[in-house]
Chain A
Amino acid sequence: MGVLKDHRRLGVLVLLGGGVLLLLWYLAPWAVPHRLFGGEGVLLNPFGHHLPQGGLPPGYSDGWLRLLFYASLAWLLLALLAPWTKASTRGLYWAGFAGLLLFLLTYLLFQASVAQVNAGAERPLLRRYSLGLGSYATLAFGLYLLLLARVFSPGGLAFLVRRRGLVVPVFSLLLASLLGGVMVAVLKENPGQAASWREAAMLKLDLITYTYQLLYSPLVNPSGFLQSLLLATPLIFTGLSVALGFRGGLFNIGAPGQLILGAIAAMLVGVYLPGPRWLVLPLAILAAALAGGLWGALPGWLKARFGAHEVINTIMLNYIAASLFLFLISANEYKFFGNTLFLPFKYPGYEARSHEIRPEARIPHWTDLVAPGGELSFALPLALLLGLLGYFLVRRSLGHRVLFGLLGMVAGYVLGGLLPGPAVAFGPDLTSVRLNGAFLLALFALLFFHFYVFRTVGGYELRAMGLAPKAAEYGGVLAGRKMVLIMFLAGALAGLAATHYVLGGGIDEYRLKQSLPYSVGFDGIAVALMGQNTPLGVGLAAWLFGILLTGGLQVNLQLGISRELVAVLQALVVLFIAAGGFLPRYFTDPLRAAEVELKEEARKREAEEAKEAR
């Protein structure tokens, strides 16, 4: 790592990045002031535009681009020189910040140029406008310079290695996105005619950029945002399910089957158990958890008792669960050796689906939670506030604090429900999103995971089983029983994912249907790995995939690329994370990481002492 200190090496890294930047400046569009529906855009580049219908849109002026180009060139020149000066890292910091400012300037100039045209018109002339890859490259290079400056300062490598839980997944995501970009380039033809190879490259790069813009578009539009939370809900549950298994040293590929069993149980209680809401809804949710848990405990027991590997068993149980599920809802009568068996579960009609869940057992839609009866409710914000107060103000044992937190939550919910609120109305694009209370359940599941795994004795034993099963057993953990328990909890979490679909009507109806997307259980593997088996990570990773899946719909709609692109990205992320992001081994091996950190600390101290001595 002594080499890392080498200024020459820093200079070469900056030079390499600068080369890529120059190439992208030359080949990629800097801005796209207008885009047609099929994806072809008006592509602006200082070396020559790509203009679909003869010329620039009427009234649009591209004068700002030339000015910006010279400013950018000057900036790049300074950045390339910075590593060769005496205070190299400080110079790079300045260059990096200047890059961010430059990007901001680009953004403002571009917005102004578009606003100039759109301001007068009744219906905006320029639509689907955005900056292009050339400008984003400026931003990326600025961030790259800042990162290099930090890493090449004293103790910089330790800074990265300490954050390896973030570095490995993010780096893997970048790699997967790069490969995904190549796939888009291969699979999709250019949307417009190109006169030169440079123009063709510009169209291709713009196509890739636009694909990713669409994939991440739910971040900037309200209904897409809600939709991404909707899709994240089941992913949180299944991600936690897989993560819990990983923490305990077990690989749960059985989340799809556990989800199916949860769905069946939720349906049975929700359709057939009469009673008041306060009783039936919790029972239906518990039934889902219990059924999923038992289905998960089965391979756990098989492993503990017979040593049968849980991976193949959980997969087999997925198929068995799917058969059982179809058996229950695809017909009303079956023949067994000539005898007829009648089942009441299927709703009449062509489609394989159950009867409707009774209104008492339904999980409320998000509008009924946020604004019941059209009035904004203070119940949820107040519950959150009092819950946090209860947890953080009570200075006693953890159990007490959690208890007071929960009590505060209930009190806040009741109190907030009594307060009158202002009237609000949501547009149809927002109310049509079927986000429901299951999302809150998912947040509670995240909290449960955190407290159970990291704050209790049981969770400590679980982690010990995952890190060193023999040592855990020697330390007094009943390994077999623990294994069954871990798989039960993992199954219960996966089973709860079904509440979103069946009780919350997460897709279109409050029923158990053949279209139940139980393969989200497999997506849970990607979520758990991306989230590094931590609750915060799982929550964020689930949301990320929720965004991508929502955006995938737009990609399919506007570009005709299969939505499965997102599934491929997920699989690649899993593969790359498994390989440690192809990063050096001190990013994946805790012992080597500690070694690096110690060495870097020593070096930092040395540098400081040398400074003082001077």
Chain B
Amino acid sequence: MNLDTAFLAALLLSTLRQTTPLLFTALGGMFSERSGVVNIALEGIILFGALTAAVVVERFEAALGPGPHPWLPWMGVLSAMAVGGLVALVHAVVSIRYRADQIISATAINLLALGAPSLVLTYFYGNATSSKEVVNRLPLWGLEGFALSPLVYLAFLLVPLSWWVLFKTPFGLRLRAVGEHPEAADTLGVNVYRMRYVGVVLSGILAGLAGAYLAIGFLNQFVRGMSAGLGFIALAAMIFGKWHPLGILFSTLLFGFASALAIQLQGTEILPAVLVQAFPYVVTVLVLAGLIGRSRPPAAVGKPYEK
């Protein structure tokens, strides 16, 4: 094993890059669950976000020519956020208004995210597995040799921001109240349904952001199934982080480190790559078994509210 500085620097950068989509998604999941709605559709929403970002940027490039358009990747990011929010809205309507089982409704969206991209890709590119590569990716900000996508910085900035929103604003208080005891919140005049819609749509916007990061920040195209369980791992990280932004920061860093280690170990003679890839998933199972402390979910999570 050559634990020199180059290896460690690469590992650190890789950890930050791997943590970013997890952090976005886990914070999103936190807003949704704090409002009382389980959202395992985040996995699928990441895919929809990634697809949107890649296709929007590629379509604009096809229309305007490849030449550098600094605004174009941001366009992709915004549209991914919008689509993420819309898909989450479907989950919200079905599970809040129609009182569906939240897990089943979200699973339907995940199934949709496995099939629908192929229809879109076939329509635009004639193949069912990946989009055309784009030229205008998100830029890299930072020092020479230590440059990261702006979305990486944004993800880490969101941690104190969400903490402030959740614990220091009236909105945050209401959101938490609705997830803990909707009847009480309702009695005090909080619109339970509206708070839940906001929580779920917010989670979709953040997962869309994670998708955009994957498609035009981390890679330069959409690849079928590219989220590879990120959404589920993020939910595990959220549970492990006890539905708290700071806890989520540390737990996603742990998972990000596990993935980064897996990537750095590939091609070495230390462990076979196929086994190393399973590492984050194994960590997730162990974490969920509560090996490192118990955590308590919001009391009303998963239950449809009826006036």
Contact = CB atoms under 8 A, between A and B. Distances in A.
Interface of A: 183, 187, 251, 253, 302, 305-309, 311-313, 315-317, 319-320, 323-324, 326-327, 330-331, 334-338, 519, 522, 525-526, 529, 560-562, 564-568, 570-572, 574-575, 577-580, 582
Interface stretch (B13-21, B46-54, B118-126, B163-171): B118-126
Interface stretch (B131-139, B181-189, B207-215, B285-293): B285-293
B229 A574 contact: no
Contacts of A308: 285, 288-290
Contacts of B90: 575
B272 A306 contact: no
Contact of A253 (B98, B107, B228, B277): B107
Nearest to B97: A579
Interface string B267-278: 001111011011
12 contacts: A302-B288, A302-B289, A306-B288, A308-B290, A312-B40, A312-B232, A313-B288, A316-B281, A327-B275, A330-B274, A571-B116, A578-B95
Nearest to A334: B272
A302 B93 CA distance: 32
A334 B272 CA distance: 6
Nearest to B44: A571
B278 A324 contact: yes
Chain B residues touching A, range: 35 or more
What is the interface of chain B mostly: helix, strand, loop, or mixed? helix
A571 to B, nearest CB: 4
B269 to A, nearest CB: 4
B282 interface: yes
Given A317-B285, A326-B274, 15 more contacts: A312-B40, A316-B233, A319-B278, A323-B277, A323-B278, A337-B271, A562-B121, A564-B116, A564-B118, A564-B122, A571-B108, A571-B111, A571-B114, A574-B108, A579-B100
Contact of B272 (A327, A560, A579, A582): A327
Nearest to B1: A337
A572 B272 contact: no
Interface of B: 40, 90, 94-95, 98, 100-101, 103-105, 107-109, 111-112, 114-116, 118-119, 121-123, 128, 228-229, 232-233, 235-236, 239, 269-272, 274-275, 277-278, 281-282, 284-285, 288-290
The 3 residue pairs across chains A and B that have the minimum distance between CB atoms: A567-B115, A575-B108, A571-B111
A575 B112 CA distance: 9
Nearest to A251: B103
Given A187-B123, A320-B282, A580-B100, A570 B288 contact: no
A529 B105 CA distance: 11
A571 B269 contact: no
A568 B274 contact: no
Contact of B274 (A312, A327, A572, A575): A327
Contact of B115 (A327, A331, A529, A564): A564
Contacts of B115: 564-568, 570-571
A306 B108 contact: no
Contacts of A319: 228-229, 278, 281
B289 A579 contact: no
